[in-house]
Amino acid sequence: MLWHANYHPDGGQLFFPLDPRPFYMPLAVRGDDVTRARFVCFRFDGRQGLYIHPNIWHEGVFGLHGTQRFFDKQGAVHARVSVDFPREFGCLLEAPIPADA
């Protein structure tokens, strides 16, 4: 369950797993009219990284089991637009993960 998400209007962000294990990333299309219904939680198998283009809503990378390390790189300018789900929508963002994932 998440309370926060953000996007970067001035540059993208790269996440590359240093441990080749599955991970999850909640993402939503660009636009300042974001709602929790626009988010989709994607599963990655850990063999490739993820580049997030500017203006794409996201949160951090979430490993499936225990601690997982990632190479994280952003553009030189680190502007950020954020949403606080409890404050703005009175809820948390939930992404169920199947038990057999």
Per-residue pLDDT of the chain (101 residues; tens, 9 = 90+): 889 999 999 999 999 999 899 999 999 999 888 988 999 999 999 999 999 999 999 998 988 888 899 999 987 777 899 999 999 999 998 887 776 66
Specify the pTM: 0.89
| Nearest-angstrom CA–CA distance, 61 and 50 | 10
Residue 14 confidence (pLDDT) = 95
Give the tens place of pLDDT for each residue, 47-75. Answer: 999 999 999 999 989 888 888 999 999 87
The first and second tokens of residue 64, run together, are: 């499936």
Residue 51 confidence (pLDDT) = 96
Q: Are 54 and 8 in contact (CB under 8 A)?
A: yes
Name the CATH superfamily housing domain 4-89. Ureidoglycolate hydrolase (2.60.120.480)
Residue 101 confidence (pLDDT) = 61
Q: Are 70 and 16 in contact (CB under 8 A)?
A: yes
Residues 6+ apart with CB under 8 A from 48: none
Domain ranges (residues) in the chain: 4-89
Residue 78 confidence (pLDDT) = 78
Q: What are residue 81's phi and psi, to 5 degrees?
A: -110, 130
Residue 60 confidence (pLDDT) = 86
- H or E segment at 89? helix 85-89
Alpha carbon 40 to chain centroid, angstroms: 10
Residue type, 54: P
